Amino acid sequence: MQRDWNIKNILEWTTRYFADRGIQEPRLEADLLLAHALQKDRVFLYANYDIPLNQEERDKYKQLIIRRVKQEPLAYITGQKEFMSA
- Which CATH number covers residue 38? 1.10.8.10
Output phi, psi for 5, to 5 deg.
-85, 70
| pTM summary value | 0.89
Domain count, the chain: 1
Residue 85 lies in a domain: no
How many CA within 13 A on the CB side of residue 52? 6
- The range of the structural domain enclosing residue 34 comes to 7-78
Q: Would you write out the chain's pLDDT as a tens digit for each of its 86 residues?
A: 357 899 999 999 999 999 999 999 999 999 999 999 999 999 999 999 999 999 999 999 999 999 999 999 999 999 987 655 44
Total residues belonging to the chain? 86
Residue 26 lies in a domain: yes
Residue 13 lies in a domain: yes
Residue 68 lies in a domain: yes
Residue 32 lies in a domain: yes
Residue 42 lies in a domain: yes
